[in-house]
């Protein structure tokens, strides 16, 4: 478990499925990512996989946290880190009505600190759709810098997506 002033980040287990199902239902949260809506049963299955905290083949750490507001216990965000042999990447989503209130920055800061201080990760990347200005601002606020550009990185929702790669390193 990771904690911030306003959040408790709990490692995802199957019991989080219903709360995460509700969070992930908002299509606005997936405007810039190739995500298809899932059923509750699919969320349960995904949470079971995430609870292992490793990829099925064991080659990567799959770290997923459900973020609860400390003041009322509501799950308002999901934070994710994939730690592989050659690369560590992060992603997040925060409930639409709570965006631009510092929750993403607060949660990502504690995730980055955990990766650096506990897992001894030396570099972290974030792949951000070029249209997602809010995530670009967040990456910069966290001390990340743009290190790459990927033309035609993905195709979803009827259009091509380009991505910026942001990174941060700690020697």
CATH for 102: 3.40.630.30
With 80 as the cut, is the pLDDT of residue 36 above it? no
Q: Is 128 within a domain?
A: no
Q: Which long-range contacts (CB under 8 A, 24 or more apart) does 111-116 make?
A: 111/2, 111/9, 111/63, 111/65, 111/79, 111/81, 112/142, 112/168, 114/2, 114/81, 115/81, 115/83, 115/88, 115/90, 116/170
- pLDDT-wise least confident of 15-24, 34-43, 102-111, 146-155: 34-43
Query: What is the pTM assigned to this prediction?
Result: 0.92
What is the average pLDDT across 26-52?
A: 83
> What is the number of structural domains in the chain?
1
Confidence at residue 4, expressed as pLDDT on a 0 to 100 scale? 96
Q: Is 153 within a domain?
A: no
Q: Is 64 within a domain?
A: yes
pLDDT in tens, 91-131: 999 998 998 999 999 999 999 999 999 999 999 999 999 99
Find the domain containing 33 and state its range.
Answer: 2-121
Q: Is 88 within a domain?
A: yes
Confidence at residue 30, expressed as pLDDT on a 0 to 100 scale? 66
Q: Is 142 within a domain?
A: no
């Amino acid at each position: 478990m990771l904690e911030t002033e306003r959040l408790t980040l709990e490692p995802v287990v199957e019991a989080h499925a219903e709360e995460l199902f509700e969070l992930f239902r908002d299509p606005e949260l997936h405007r810039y990512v190739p995500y298809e809506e899932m059923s509750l049963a699919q969320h349960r299955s995904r949470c079971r996989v995430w609870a292992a905290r490793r990829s099925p083949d064991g080659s990567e750490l799959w770290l997923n946290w459900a973020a609860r507001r400390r003041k009322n216990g509501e799950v308002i965000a999901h934070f994710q880190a994939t730690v592989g042999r050659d690369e560590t990447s992060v992603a997040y989503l925060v409930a639409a009505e709570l965006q631009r209130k510092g929750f993403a920055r607060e949660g990502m800061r504690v995730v980055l600190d955990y990766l650096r201080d506990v897992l001894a990760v030396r570099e972290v990347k974030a792949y951000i759709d070029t249209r997602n200005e809010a995530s670009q601002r967040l990456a910069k606020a966290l001390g990340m810098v743009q290190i790459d550009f990927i033309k035609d990185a993905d195709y979803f929702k009827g259009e091509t997506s380009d991505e910026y790669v942001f990174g941060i390193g700690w020697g």
